[in-house]
Structure 1
Amino acid sequence: MANSLSLRSILDANKLTGPNCIDWFRNIKIVLKQEKKAYVLDGPILEVPGNDATNEEKEAYRVYMDDLDQATCVMLASMAPDLQKQHEAMNVLDIILNLREMFDKESHKERFDISRELFRCKMSEGSLVRPHVLKMIGYITRLE
């Protein structure tokens, strides 16, 4: 439990304010991955099992919904109060979609700036290859 508390402190120190959306979401994914709940970010919400569903299917759905609720709470707790109010009635997937709509222009500009730096990156004559490659890898990783 101490590990999850220390990772959650990352979110306390870096609350979502708007311009930091990309970094904030990266931190959300790190915390949820450590807590084994990142899978809820990957796809559509499971459908409610029918009356003819097995106990295993019903239990899997219950666990999924608990994980979805916990991921939603982690996201909301790590937002600035005005963003919390906007998103408090949404689930994780709806929050992500709404944030992308709100801050997509900013993320496009950031990706453009990183791409520009990557394409301008030239190795100086006589310099070592390793630092240059690591710098380029850093740019590519940031673009992801």
Structure 2
Amino acid sequence: MSSRNPLSIILDQNKLTGSNYNDWFRNLKIVLSSEKILYVLDKKPPKEAASDISETELAKLEKWWDHDLQAKCYMLASMSNELQRRFEEAVNAADIHLHFKELYGVQTRSERHAIVKELMTTRMRDGTSVYEQGVRMIGLIEKLVGLDVVIPSELATDILLLSLPPRSMDLWLILI
């Protein structure tokens, strides 16, 4: 990793293995944002410069390719060796990003759906303590947060309270 960017250490410590795509991508965005090159993940430059391109446009295009190469290097250097071999010939950072988004995005959506379904339908079982139910619900909420789902704390509290039977909910409200 580049010694110029001290944030790149988070990519060294959290290499992409596949199953950790969301965490890796969040860290990659932090590093690329600090370098002001995050834009290369979403937009592809033209393949070739037009023959009548101005000096200013040519300079912009060259800057784009430099930024793209830098982002691609950050991405490759922060992958497992197996993934590096698969993507070392990729044309640009946006192609790598798109591939991973397609590969792991569906898995993330289905995982998120399953967790939301469980969170919204879970009700406290007989014999379970309010504490155990709270821990279970908080665990589900934390899993969603790990998948980049933003849940305001008031909503999380309301969802947790809805999972309790009316008598337990009264007790819980007294405690908070």
TM-score range, shorter chain: 0.7 to 0.9
> What TM-score do the two structures reach when normalised by structure 2?
0.63
TM-score, with normalisation over the residues of structure 1? 0.76
* 1:11 positional shift: 0.4
Counterpart AA for 2:60: A
Segments ≥4 residues shifted beyond 3 Å: 116-122, 138-141
User: For residues 140 and 72 of structure 1, do their structure 2 counterparts lie closer, same or farther at Cα, with a shift above 3 Å needed?
Assistant: closer
Q: Please give the per-residue CA displacement for 1:89-129, whole angstroms capped at 9, x wherever unaligned.
A: 1121111222233323431233224433664699x9xxxxx
2:18 maps to: 18
Instruction: Name the residue aligned to 1:109.
Output: 110
2:148 paired with 1:142: yes
Following TM superposition, by how much is the alpha carbon of 1:2 offset from its aligned partner in structure 2, in angstroms? 7.4
Deviations 1:66-87 (A, max 9, x none): 0000000000000000000000
Gaps of 5+ in 1: 125-134
Structure 2 partner of 1:71: 71
Letter in 2 for 1:41: L
Distance across 2 between alignment mates of 1:140 and 1:83: 23
8 A contact 1:49–1:58 mirrored in 2? yes
Aligned residues between the structures: 132
What are the residue-to-residue correspondences of 1:1-144 with 2, within 5 Å?
4-5=5-6, 7-90=7-90, 91-116=92-117, 119=120, 139=145, 142-143=148-149
How far did 1:12 drift? 0.6
> Which one has the largest radius of gyration?
2
- Say whether the 8 Å CA contact 1:16–1:24 is kept in structure 2: yes
Other structure's SS at 2:148 match: helix
Q: Give the fraction of aligned pairs with identical amino acids, expressed as a percent.
A: 38
Q: Which runs of 5+ in 2 are unaligned?
A: 124-129, 131-140, 151-176
